Chain A
Amino acid sequence: DADVTQTPRNRITKTGKRIMLECSQTKGHDRMYWYRQDPGLGLRLIYYSFDVKDINKGEISDGYSVSRQAQAKFSLSLESAIPNQTALYFCATSDFGTGSGELFFGEGSRLTVL
């Protein structure tokens, strides 16, 4: 089983719909992230959380919100999806407490907004 699990893996929705992408991890890491990947633009940070109740905006947070329900769970919401939010979304975790500074990714959630 994957250490970082994302659901759903694929989703097609319509403009204006509310969408939630969920992420859970079994790595025991304290830090969790949501990234968006677009062709030619690399990975861009949406939101990140260093612990439960800690939420920080990333580079492209507009139009998104997050919830850190537990150390192992971090969900991303699009309150009213729009077509330019069509992208591949990745959840990631890291454990800076060990000094490793390494980032581990889920398998991605492909979102299409029509």
Chain B
Amino acid sequence: GQQLNQSPQSMFIQEGEDVSMNCTSSSIFNTWLWYKQDPGEGPVLLIALYKAGELTSNGRLTAQFGITRKDSFLNISASIPSDVGIYFCAGQLIRAGNQFYFGTGTSLTVIP
């Protein structure tokens, strides 16, 4: 299957710090999605990106669709304790029957 390389695997930060994580692939994607998953819950969509170069914000979260269409990043500014969770990227390939492929996740811990 398609591989999405997500980094870092885990992050431990102080409250108030900014966070950055990214996903890269050898394939070209038509859509990039970023999700957050809390323990025992399903992933919740944070941001969806549809065009190369697109930069989209959702509150303190900002994500960008890479120009090459092979990567995307997510930034969280001024982190707060409720940002704790696992963040996943997902890419959608039209040529693969519109399937979604997922990164392995970034586990974020925010220290108050």
Contacts and interface: CB of A to CB of B under 8 A. Distances in A.
Q: Do A and B come from one complex?
A: yes
Interface of A: 4, 31, 33, 40-45, 48, 56, 58-59, 90, 94, 96, 100-108
Chief secondary structure at chain A's binding surface: strand
A61 to B, nearest CB: 12
A64 to B, nearest CB: 16
B109 to A, nearest CB: 16
Interface residues of B, number: 26
A58 B102 CA distance: 13
A105 B42 CA distance: 6
Given A48-B99, A102-B33, A103-B45, 13 more contacts: A33-B100, A41-B104, A43-B43, A45-B100, A90-B43, A96-B98, A100-B48, A101-B50, A103-B90, A105-B42, A105-B43, A107-B42, A108-B41
B104 A101 contact: no
A43 B1 contact: no
Contacts of A41: 104
A42 B100 contact: no
A42 B104 contact: yes
B36 to A, nearest CB: 11
